[in-house]
Chains A and B, each alone.
Chain A
């Protein structure tokens, strides 16, 4: 079974400052890794995903994440945030060898302030 831990439930940050949202996972098998964003009263939008290859993954809206197998982490970063980045961010994993479900963390609320 897999599990995902997002230690930070809320992250406040000033506009134009850098931000890192942390994600650690636990799995007995290889996984694919995802970051999703959820704006208020909306569904989930894919930011980026790691399937294989380069451990640094670039996504939409200037976000990137780095897969660290030894640390079992997949932290999300953005060098300069904007007010419009205020949202809930979810890290998720899926087994590579089959299986269909995404296992999500509990989410991190990013609040960008002026």
Chain B
């Protein structure tokens, strides 16, 4: 197993800028989800991609967008950054098999907006 790899590990951006976070899924996994974990909070679901299409979204504005590529790697893009976007962003990959699949999480990207 290759695990889930996220890059970069840390990032500092200025309010109003745009950012792209990257995720390489675990080998054989065809689904990727993104979560935002603010300091002292549990992760919050942003969205999920399956076969390169978004197929589930949490309560996040449209300036949060994503892509999934044919090799199942993924990007999270955030436009017009706000101070409250400062958080740990976690990527999780999974293999859809019936209704009981597991998730493998990456170590996350720590985004700080100043």
Contacts and interface: CB of A to CB of B under 8 A. Distances in A.
Q: Do A and B come from one complex?
A: yes
Contacts of B58: 101
Contacts of B103: 46, 102
Interface in A15-65: 32, 36, 41-46, 49, 51
B105 A101 contact: no
Nearest to A97: B99
Interface of A: 4, 32, 36, 41-46, 49, 51, 90, 92, 96-107
Given A97-B99, A101-B56, A43 B41 contact: no
Nearest to B58: A101
Contacts of A102: 33, 35, 43, 45, 92, 103
A51 B33 CA distance: 20
Contacts of A107: 40-42
Complex A-B, nearest 3 residue pairs according to Cβ-Cβ distance, in ascending order: A104-B42, A101-B45, A43-B105
Contact of A49 (B4, B50, B90, B102): B102
A45 B33 contact: no
B105 A106 contact: no
B48 A100 contact: yes
B33 A100 contact: yes
A106 B42 CA distance: 4
A103 B99 CA distance: 16
A32 B100 contact: yes
Contact of A43 (B44, B48, B50, B108): B108
A65 B61 CA distance: 36
Contacts of A100: 31, 33, 48, 50, 55-56
